[in-house]
Chains A and B, each alone.
Chain A
């Protein structure tokens, strides 16, 4: 079945860039998402990318997609302590009308 893999932890210093990586197995993935979850809270959509795109930039966030390798990354520039959270990679074949397949999440810790 479909699978989404992420590293579980990442620790960076404030002001540095963070790069969170994700791999997926479903070649039919059309939409790829990054969600942020703060402690005890629900999910906040950070950004998304369509499978026919290689890169998307949105302020401090840059998403890179290597469709051949089924590899997705999220780069956060100038990481702040408020960026500390769990980041989930997710994929979907059908976008909003279908369920999302999530990775286990990467816990980002930002040290001052």
Chain B
């Protein structure tokens, strides 16, 4: 089946630094990818929709200058958390649609970000 990978799987960074998270579709092309954020014991909340070749679409309340998204190719989307603060600590998960009229999205394994 289709696989979506994320890198890194976990990262610890200091306040004020930036962190880049990669999301790759390994055996299929994804013109759209979704970035979710999950707080402990909470649901997944959509942050933004990443579109290959165009600007990302951000959900209300998500700062686009803080969470930079670049969909560089049909298999890669990156999320950069700029000037990270402890409140940005969370589990970030990406997903990619399977394409066509299929019902399924494939989820990456997630990236655990801890900002100290």
Interface residues of A (CB under 8 A from B): 4, 31, 35, 40-45, 48, 50, 88, 95-97, 99-100, 102-105
- Min CB distance B25 to A, Å, is 13
Interface residues of B (CB under 8 A from A): 6, 32, 34, 41-46, 49, 93, 95, 97-99, 101-105, 107-110, 112
Contact of B105 (CB < 8 Å), options: A40, A100, A104, A105: A100
CA A48 to CA B112, docked complex, whole Å:
27
- What is the chain A residue whose CB lies nearest that of B34? A99
Please judge, given known A-B contacts A41-B109, A96-B98, A99-B46, whether A31 and B93 are in contact too, CB under 8 Å: no
CA A45 to CA B108, docked complex, whole Å:
12
CB-CB nearest 4 A-B residue pairs:
A96-B97, A42-B109, A43-B107, A104-B43
